[in-house]
A = this chain, B = another copy of it.
C-alpha cells in the first residue's frame, strides 16, 4: 500500500467547523483519479487543528469517500495517550494505515520519540508510516532512529522530508537508507518539488500535497517514474515549477487552499483560524500558475 502516489487532501474548514461536503468532494476526486492511496489528516489535512471527535469524523468520511482506495490516517498529537486514542478511532473508521509524526511543544529527545512509537505500535492492527516533517514537528530524525523504529511491529514505511537536489546524491542517499531499513520497508518522498528526483532515486512512494488537489499531474509524474522514464517524470515536474515556486513562497497548505477554492470545491475561506487565507493578489497569481500548467479555473 505504501508505494506509488499517496495523495494528501485538505480538510476544508468553514465557519470554524469541518466542511464535510467539501471534504468528501476533495476525496472523491482522488478516488476517481485512482491514486494509490489517500493520506487524510496529514499536515495538509490540518490534523493538529482538529479535536478528537472531528478527527474521528474526518477519518470516517475519508474511508467512505475513498471507495477502494486505501486510506492512511494521521494520528499525531503532543501526548502519547492522545496518539493512541487517535489510532483507535482511525482503525475503527477503517483506515488501511496510519501516519505518525513526533509533533513537539517541548523539544523531544531521540529516546522520547522511540518510546512514543514503541508505545503506540504495541496495540495496532494496521501498518504505520513514520512521518518525518521537521518543518512542523521541529524534531530531526537520525537514520539510526529510523532503523530502530522500523524494527518495531507494524512500522512499514517512512515519509522523508526530501532528497538532495542532485540526482547522484539523491540515489546514494536512498540506497543508503534502504540498506539500513528492513526488507520490504518503503521510503516515500515528500516536498513535492523534489518528488521526481526522489522517485528516480529509488523512493517507493510519493507522499504528495499537490496530489491531494491535482491528482492527475501527480499521477503522470509517478507513473513515468515507475516505468523507469525518469526523464519524462522530471520534465513533467518541471512543468509544475510555477506551483513549486508558490509553495516555496507561501507554504503548500495556503496555496492548495486557494486551488481548492478556485476549483469550486470549497468556500473562499477554508483554513482554520488563525491561519489566514492568501490575499486576492496571490489568488490571481495562483490562477495564472494553474492556467500555465493547463488547469482551467
Residues of A with Cβ closer than 8 Å to B?
16, 43, 46, 48-49, 78-81, 102-103, 105-109, 111-113, 115-116, 119, 135-136, 138, 251, 253, 272-276
Q: Which of A49, A102, A116, A135 has the most chain B CB atoms inside 10 A of its CB?
A: A49
**Complex Cα distance A113/B274, Å?**
7
Q: A43-B106, A78-B49, A105-B136 are in contact. Are A112 and B274 (CB under 8 A)?
A: yes
**Complex Cα distance A113/B116, Å?**
31
**Complex Cα distance A115/B80, Å?**
31
Note all chain B residues with C-beta closer than 8 A to A79.
Answer: 16, 49, 272-274
**Complex Cα distance A59/B21, Å?**
38
Given contacts A16-B79, A46-B106, A116-B273, 10 further A-B contacts (CB under 8 A): A16-B81, A43-B106, A48-B105, A49-B78, A106-B136, A111-B276, A112-B275, A112-B276, A115-B276, A138-B138
Decide: B43 and A115 in contact? CB cutoff 8 A: no
Copies of the chain in the assembly: 2
Note all chain B residues with C-beta closer than 8 A to A103.
Answer: 105
Which chain B residue has the least Cβ–Cβ distance from A112?
B274
For the complex of A and B, the 9 pairs showing the least CB-CB separation, nearest first, are A116-B274, A80-B273, A48-B105, A112-B274, A80-B274, A16-B81, A49-B79, A49-B78, A112-B276
Which chain B residue has the least Cβ–Cβ distance from A17?
B81
Which chain B residue has the least Cβ–Cβ distance from A278?
B109
